[in-house]
Chains A and B, each alone.
Chain A
């Protein structure tokens, strides 16, 4: 062994040993399937014939010419915006309110978290009733309070269906944001809050000037997870509308599924998957880059 390449020291060896299994799992279960998807996307294949036909980039080109594809892309982007704002904002609001020492805190805490534990198919089934357009809970309540004019054909109107699905997903996922923010608020040292109060800050000011900046780590987690969930969104849409009516609520993962198994177009579905991966990369990569940069920052601390 040449002397320059000295044996790595004990710490480095330990580090490598620790990373070996996770990295091996990652390569096997992430990298290999992605490469195989890219391979499939360059072929025309029904999904079960013994042979497939090489078509080059044709699947990619065809998709770019389809309004259906762009509709799904736009839906995905809308979902990202929605997920970054609504469940996150609601979760923050609820956490901030509940953090002020309200009686029955534990009941509220369980209630806000509960929907998050329900499986997606059940969420879909429950909200199919909520949104039943003539006798469902939502329409009934609106009529009871004299706002019957606001009632909509919740899941059947192509112009409304995305908002309806978002409402259901907000109900489903706000619990996560709430939980993280609530934990974040409880982690803020009481001295900071006390100090602000002594200086005469109102609770509103205290929250925005003192608590919120200290919540940044929680916010990062919630925003990142929300964006990732929005890109991967599948279950609830598939189980509630299957992307309908007439593709109006389709997101990329749903389109991929429909092409692959609804129409036996495995190659084209794989091309959708690769586009989805690229789009996620564009939207989420900055976040991941930011997170990995924090490694250096925390080392500097």
Chain B
């Protein structure tokens, strides 16, 4: 292959990527500009802000206030718990032989079919009877429970890619199956856990449906409820809405940047490599 051809191909690749990058970035640029506009300027969508109108951020912070910390208090443990439950369920399913394991796996996976809107009312009763209505712990429980199908699916696949020889060798050495899981398998699976952590952080951080159904006060309301407040009813406060959105995206981005190295290795099972 000639050098010129290779160069032309690289140039083409770059061009396509840049075009896509512009398409991906344009709405975000508009959102960012909007977050700096004063109310009269908002009537012109594509104009530049005449000055940086920080009041939108101030309004966003005032409104988000405690809810931002609620979101962190909900998301961090819920991500950890949901990954753990996925690993706990995925482990036996990856190693069990026979049809009972397959049946349980199939059953758990069918949970992925269920649209969450249909569970709302029974869910409300459950959570209320457990005394967990409007609590952060209630949100942990719900996010963990509804993560069971996907996290099990994800972790089972990951564990299945870990060479079985490692498992058998450990058992021969007298290691109990439970000990193998905690001491050997989990530590060797950090990349898979990290990949799942990114996906779960995004899903839990952005949840609105469970939050609206199961929380009602500052004690437990996450930031998505406040953000949707800016966007709802008759009026939409675009300035603070965009400011709040941009701020609220930061933690998920941080999680992504933090875990992305492992993500590449972990998503498809690479512990053995």
Contacts and interface: CB of A to CB of B under 8 A. Distances in A.
Interface in A6-51: 10-11, 14-19, 21-23, 25-26, 28-30, 32-34, 36-37
B169 interface: no
B188 interface: no
A114 B238 CA distance: 20
Nearest to A298: B160
Interface in B140-168: 142, 144-146, 148-149, 152-153, 156-157, 160-161, 164
Contact of B114 (A34, A120, A301): A34
A112 B16 CA distance: 13
Contacts of B202: 116-117
Contacts of A203: 9
Interface string A196-225: 000000110000000000000110010010
B241 A132 contact: no
Contacts of A276: 115, 118
A111 B23 CA distance: 10
Nearest to A115: B24
Nearest to A278: B113
Interface in A95-145: 97-98, 100, 102, 107-122, 124-127, 129-130, 132, 135-137, 140
Contacts of B195: 183
A69 to B, nearest CB: 16
A80 interface: no
Contacts of A291: 109, 153
A270 B260 CA distance: 41
Given A100-B13, A121-B231, A111 B21 contact: yes
A126 B249 CA distance: 14
Interface in A252-301: 252-253, 256-257, 270, 273, 276-277, 280-281, 284-285, 288-289, 291-296, 298-299, 301
B266 to A, nearest CB: 8
Given A19-B89, A235-B208, A171 B126 contact: no
Chain A, interface size category, equals: 35 or more
A19 to B, nearest CB: 6
Given A15-B96, A218-B267, A295-B160, 13 more contacts: A23-B107, A29-B126, A29-B142, A34-B114, A119-B228, A140-B46, A171-B23, A218-B268, A257-B117, A284-B112, A289-B106, A291-B153, A295-B94
Per CB-CB distance, the 7 closest pairs between chain A and chain B, nearest first, are A15-B92, A22-B89, A33-B119, A273-B118, A122-B245, A29-B145, A33-B122
Interface of A: 10-11, 14-19, 21-23, 25-26, 28-30, 32-34, 36-37, 90, 93-94, 97-98, 100, 102, 107-122, 124-127, 129-130, 132, 135-137, 140, 171, 174, 176, 179-180, 182-184, 186-187, 202-203, 217-218, 221, 224, 228, 231-232, 234-235, 239, 252-253, 256-257, 270, 273, 276-277, 280-281, 284-285, 288-289, 291-296, 298-299, 301
